């Protein structure tokens, strides 16, 4: 079973610390403190997890930063060391990525046995006379099994003939060697521009870049940049086409991570990929999947993928991972 859970500071049983406090619904540093640690209480999960993807909405400035860590437990008594999930505006050389039978695989937390309890630890930093980071929410996508590529996906056939008028950007318009690795950032830029946010590919790619992994495609980083632009976003597992259609009917395109070998996806600009993000924008009259694919170099970048093949490369090969973007009433898509 795969579920998404949202954690909001004001809904948790908080213990105020000397350095951090709850203001409204959010956590910030107390005035005059340049750093501080906020720890959540122990959280019992409804189903537990063996695999989890975390995203968070933490507002920062150029002169503030944060670290996000997590404690895990099978029984609520014996806890792991704090496992490092991510940071912004910092480069932490000392990070724990494995504790007993739990480890972070870049941006996916994997537990060999079912983990039932978690606690978050977030450290906030700021420069003197600058604003504090603001912890707004944390979202987790939990699965009670470790994903193994190739598990059969049953398609219920859901679709409506529609295509959102999303502007196309090619990642290969950017300089080398960056351009080979920025599909996630470019896809986010297409979504933002459609929703009325004039984002640029190069700027966005620089914001999502992770110096520790030397990568542009870390899940939580792209979600965080979308949150920076008031698009509440998290990474998660799509269960099927009903969720996708619901997003599209609400004028929200769907970034989806696909993986495929040579010959598995007709019309694809790349022959094969271990991980590539495309933007789902609609369905054609036959239920084919209409995408803006940033790997396209020429033309409109609008590609219609065979539905059965797309089921295979998204749900079966990549677990249905994608970005859940949520817009506010302030955004007006280009219809």
Instruction: For residue range 286-311, list pLDDT tens digits in order.
Output: 999 999 999 998 778 999 999 999 99
**In the predicted model, what is the mean pLDDT of residues 221-232?**
96
Chain mean pLDDT for the chain: 94
If you average pLDDT over residues 102-123, what whole number do you get? 96
What residues are paired with 318 via a beta bridge? Answer: none
Instruction: Band the pLDDT of 331: cuts 50, 70, 90.
Output: low
- CATH code of 162-326, in short, is 3.90.70.10
The pTM (predicted TM-score) of the whole model is 0.95
| Dihedral over alpha carbons 219, 45, 145, 76 (to 10 degrees) | 110
Residue 67 contacts residue 87 (beta carbons within 8 Å):
yes
Instruction: Find the range with the poorest average confidence among 88-102, 104-118, 153-167.
Output: 88-102
Distance between CA atoms of 211 and 107, rounded to whole angstroms? 14
Residue 333 has pLDDT above 80, yes or no: no
Collapsed DSSP state (helix, strand, coil) of residue 61: coil
Alpha-carbon gap, residue 160 to 282, rounded angstroms: 8
- CB contact at 8 A, 173 and 189: no
- Which residues are 185's β-sheet partners? none
Mean pLDDT across the stretch 49-70?
96
Alpha carbon distance 48, 186 (integer Å): 34
Query: Is CATH 1.10.3210 correct for 2-143?
Result: no
Q: Give the pLDDT confidence score for residue 17 in this predicted structure.
A: 81
Encode pLDDT of 247-262 as tens digits. 999 999 999 999 999 9
Q: Is 66 helix (H, G, I), strand (E, B) or coil?
A: strand
The sign of the dihedral angle between the CA atoms of 189, 193, 197, 200 is positive
Q: What is the mean pLDDT of residues 121-141?
A: 96
CATH topology agreement for domains 2-143 and 162-326: no
What's the pLDDT score for residue 75? 94
Instruction: Report pLDDT for 240.
Output: 95
Q: For 144-159, what is the mean pLDDT?
A: 90
Look at residue 148 and tell me whether its pLDDT is greater than 70: yes
Confidence at residue 302, expressed as pLDDT on a 0 to 100 scale? 95
CB 44 within 8 A of CB 75: no
278: pLDDT confidence band, cut at 50, 70 and 90?
A: very high
What residue segments make up the domains of the chain, in order of their start?
A: 2-143, 162-326
């Amino acid at each position: 079973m795969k579920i998404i859970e949202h954690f909001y500071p004001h809904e948790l049983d908080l213990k105020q610390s000397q350095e951090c406090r709850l203001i409204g619904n959010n956590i910030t540093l107390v005035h005059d403190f340049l750093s501080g640690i906020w720890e959540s209480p122990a959280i019992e999960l409804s189903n537990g997890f063996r695999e989890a993807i975390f995203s968070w909405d933490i507002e920062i400035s150029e002169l503030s930063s944060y670290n996000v860590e997590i404690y895990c437990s099978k029984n609520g008594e014996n806890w792991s060391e704090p496992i490092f999930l991510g940071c912004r505006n910092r480069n932490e050389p000392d990070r724990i990525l494995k504790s007993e039978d739990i480890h972070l695989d870049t941006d996916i937390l994997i537990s060999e046995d079912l983990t039932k309890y978690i606690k978050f630890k977030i450290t906030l930093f700021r420069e003197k006379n600058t604003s504090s980071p603001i912890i707004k929410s944390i979202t987790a996508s939990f699965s009670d099994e470790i994903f193994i590529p190739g598990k059969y996906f049953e398609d219920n056939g859901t679709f409506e003939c529609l295509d959102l008028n999303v502007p196309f950007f090619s990642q290969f318009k950017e300089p080398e060697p960056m351009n080979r690795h920025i599909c996630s950032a470019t896809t986010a830029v297409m979504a933002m521009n459609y929703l009325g946010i004039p984002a640029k590919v190069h700027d966005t790619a620089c914001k999502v870049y992770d110096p520790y992994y030397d990568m542009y495609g870390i899940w939580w980083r792209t979600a965080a940049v979308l949150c920076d632009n008031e698009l509440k976003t998290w990474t998660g597992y799509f269960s099927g086409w009903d969720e996708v259609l619901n997003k599209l009917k609400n004028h929200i395109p769907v970034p989806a991570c696909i993986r495929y070998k040579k010959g598995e996806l007709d019309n694809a600009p790349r022959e094969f990929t271990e991980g590539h993000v495309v933007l789902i924008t609609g369905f054609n009259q036959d239920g084919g999947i209409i995408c803006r694919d940033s790997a396209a170099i020429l033309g409109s970048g609008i590609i219609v993928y065979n539905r059965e093949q797309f089921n295979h490369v998204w749900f079966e090969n990549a677990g249905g991972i994608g970005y859940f973007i949520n817009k506010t009433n302030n955004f007006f898509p280009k219809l």
